[in-house]
Chains A and B, each alone.
Chain A
């Protein structure tokens, strides 16, 4: 299988702190990659760089074989790399349909990049996007703050699917979720593989990502300390790496 993302020698400093040290990583197409590490291991720095929110101080990123340099999250999103943050990716007071289309509204009567939203089309498409990830909700007009945590992650994943993301970066998607809600989210992520979406699943909770991951990557102190296929490792070995670095 080919690699969809290749990172070579990424370094990032934050006011003198070496947050990411010479990190290289290959991510196979249509796989689920578990990126694990304790707090402060450099996971967030890595995904901020991959999602275009921050720029590396040195090193290269290749996406589908081409060298890329993202100046903004929008640029990464346009190429099909979508990042799902723990909580911040949805606006609680806004409806599901409006949330799905934030920043990418379907419009008519456009003047430049401004126009009137095609409300009906957006509602219908939102429902369809939800059904595609097996999420069955009553109405696209329901405000997101009336959904459970797992359902919210489902909406975010549906949004990424709708916009044909190729890579989905999930930052601690199961944090603060009940066991039942966590299982829901894991099911969403597992379903992505068959639809041709690569996922990078960031967590410090090994037991969440282990069952669904194909590949695992462990980070500590800004460095990659392990990088292997699931079949070449065990949960005990990974736990040992996490705890003892």
Chain B
């Protein structure tokens, strides 16, 4: 019975379901086209995935704390654009990077401040920020996308090794550090508690406002950092960069088992969710299906994941209720 139960409790973990879904998709596309898992294709897909992984982790942690950030796509463009423009103004590259990343932090802070101070849904506060930050990015381009200044240390972030880019190792570093933070540290416990039941958490003495603010800032910072990596990889700062990324990163988090209502999710799930989306995109192209089907595939995946997770959590709750009736 007890062994039986532990297997079941493993299977009801949402990120495990995501991982199984991931394997199914990988095998399915491999059957459709063997070259799907060639080193060449993996190199291409994993070259662009790290940027999405980093944003998805930030979104996932913020969602676990019970809030949203729709402005990540715009911050993803604003931060690198600012860095590039500052370097063109003669600011030393590392200082420009520092200031640019600070902008991500400031946007996160403003999102958090507006949400928490005025008690409005973060959905609205960050929707406003989505437009504001995108507008600022376009203004900062001064009408024409600036050239990429090659004195920026972009190789450090995106150097192409044999199979992977340096950015993947940065993404893994982010995942490990924040995974330990979320799952092993007391701060992580506060984040889950805040998102799980804010009243209960604050009655236990947790400063839930501070916890959420920390998650907003972290999310803004990671979105900016990831955007910087993309610009460094493309060697071109585009004002349209990160368009619709806010929805895609929420999709990654949700596919990875993060709950829309907070309190549930893992860093691992968000990472798998982000990778899965990129391989889905690549797989559809490799299988010679019209690329327009990618969005339909992604949409179906989101719905399947959430339906499945809802079913699982209802089952889990029913176990408790049955026991109460015994």
A: residues with CB less than 8 A from B are 53, 72-74, 77, 83, 85, 88-94, 98, 101-105, 107, 113-117, 119, 138, 143, 145-151, 178, 181
**Chain B residues with Cβ under 8 A from A115's Cβ?**
185-186
What's the least CB distance linking B291 to chain A, in Å?
38
Please, which residues of chain A bring their CB within 8 A of the CB of B186? 105, 107, 113-117
Interface contact A148-B189, CB-CB below 8 Å:
no
Asked whether B4 is an interface residue with its Cβ less than 8 Å from the other chain, the reply is no
Q: In the bound complex, do residue B204 and residue A148 qualify as a contact, i.e. CB atoms below 8 Å apart?
A: no
Partner pick for A93 among B199, B205, B264, B326, CB 8 A cutoff: B264
> Does B203 lie within 8 Å of A93, measured CB to CB?
no
- Please, which residues of chain A bring their CB within 8 A of the CB of B184? 116-117, 119
B5 to A, closest residue via Cβ = A138
Q: Is the CB of B201 within 8 A of A148?
A: no
Specify the chain A residue showing the minimal Cβ separation from B1.
Answer: A138
Q: Give the complex CA separation of A79 and B250 in angstroms.
A: 43
Q: Which of B149-189 contact A (CB under 8 A)?
A: 180, 184-189
Bound-state Cα–Cα, A72 to B209, Å: 15
CB < 8 Å neighbour of A88 from B188, B190, B197, B206: B197
Given contacts A88-B200, A145-B317, A178-B324, contact A74 B185 (CB under 8 A): no
Q: Known: A93-B264, A103-B205, A147-B320. Contact between A117 and B185, CB under 8 A?
A: yes
Which B residues are in CB contact (< 8 Å) with A107?
Answer: 185-186
A103 & B204 in contact (Cβ 8 Å cutoff): yes
Is B200 within 8 A of A91, CB to CB? yes
Given contacts A102-B189, A114-B186, contact A89 B204 (CB under 8 A): yes
- Asked if residues B317 and A88 are in contact (CB atoms below 8 Å), the reply is no
Q: A119 — which chain B residues lie within 8 A by C-beta?
A: 184
B203 near A53: Cβ-Cβ < 8 Å: yes
How distant is the Cα of A93 from the Cα of B269 in the complex, in angstroms?
17
Which chain B residues lie closer than 8 Å to A148 at the CB level? Answer: 320-321, 323-324, 326
Contact between chains at A146 and B323 (CB < 8 Å): yes
Give A111's nearest chain B residue, CB to CB: B185
List 9 A-B pairs, Cβ < 8 Å: A88-B199, A89-B203, A92-B263, A93-B192, A94-B196, A103-B206, A104-B205, A119-B184, A148-B321
Contacts of A143 in B (CB 8 A): 316
The answer to whether residues A91 and B197 also contact, given A98-B192, A115-B186 and a CB cut-off of 8 A, is yes
Which chain B residues lie closer than 8 Å to A149 at the CB level? 324
| Other-chain contact of B205, A74, A94, A147 (Cβ < 8 Å) | A74
**Does B2 have its Cβ within 8 Å of any Cβ on chain A?**
yes
What's the minimum C-beta distance from B196 to chain A, rounded to whole angstroms? 4
Please determine whether A116 and B200 come into contact, CB atoms closer than 8 angstroms: no
The one of A93, A101, A145 in contact with B189, judged by C-beta atoms closer than 8 angstroms, is A101
In the complex, are the beta carbons of B201 and A91 less than 8 A apart?
yes
Q: Which residues of A contact B263 (CB under 8 A)?
A: 91-94
Contact B316 A181 (CB under 8 A): no
- Structural contact, B180 and A116, CB atoms closer than 8 A: yes
A-chain residues with CB within 8 Å of residue B21 when the two chains form the complex: none
The smallest beta-carbon distance between B246 and chain A, in angstroms, is: 25
The answer to whether B307 has its CB under 8 Å from any CB of chain A is no
Contacts of B326 in A (CB 8 A): 148
> Pick the contact of B324 from A73, A90, A181 — CB < 8 Å?
A181
The answer to whether B253 has its CB under 8 Å from any CB of chain A is no
Q: Do the beta carbons of B316 and A145 come within 8 Å of each other?
A: yes
User: What's the least CB distance linking B211 to chain A, in Å?
Assistant: 11
> How many Å from the CB of B326 to the closest CB on chain A?
8
- Out of A94, A103, A114, A181, name the residue touching B185 (CB < 8 Å): A114
Q: Once bound together, how far apart are the Cα atoms of A181 and B326, in whole Å?
A: 11
The distance in angstroms between the C-alpha atoms of A148 and B203, with both chains bound, is 21
Q: Evaluate contact between A146 and B200: CB separation under 8 angstroms.
A: no
- Asked if B193 and A94 sit within 8 Å, CB to CB, the answer is yes
Q: Which of B197, B199, B206, B319 contacts A146 (CB 8 A)?
A: B319
Q: Which residues of chain A are within 8 angstroms of B203 by Cβ–Cβ distance?
A: 53, 73, 83, 85, 88-89
Interface 0/1 of B87-127, CB less than 8 Å to A: 00000000000000000000000000000000000000000
Task: Collect the chain B residues with CB atoms within 8 Å of residue A90's CB.
Answer: 197, 200
**Do the beta carbons of B205 and A72 come within 8 Å of each other?**
yes
Q: Which residues of A have CB within 8 Å of B202?
A: 73
- The chain B residue sitting closest to A109, CB to CB, is B185
Q: Would B205 and A117 count as touching, CB distance under 8 A?
A: no
The residue among A77, A102, A114 with the most chain B CB atoms within 10 A of its own CB is A102
Closest CB in chain B relative to A56 CB, distance in Å: 19
The complex places the Cα of A105 from the Cα of B190 at a distance, in Å, of 10
Q: How far is the CB of B176 from chain A (nearest CB, A)?
A: 13
The residue of chain B having its C-beta at the shortest distance from the C-beta of A110 within the complex is B186
Residues of A within 8 Å of B320, CB to CB, are: 145-148
9 closest Cβ pairs, A-B complex: A148-B324, A91-B196, A74-B205, A105-B186, A146-B320, A103-B204, A88-B200, A103-B205, A102-B204
Nearest-neighbor residue (CB-CB) of A51 within chain B: B203
Which chain B residue has the least Cβ–Cβ distance from A75?
B205
Closest residue to B323 on the A side, CB-wise? A148
Name the one of A53, A102, A113 contacting B193, with C-beta atoms under 8 angstroms.
A102
Asked if residues B324 and A117 are in contact (CB atoms below 8 Å), the reply is no
0/1 per residue, B250-265, Cβ < 8 Å to A? 0000000000000110
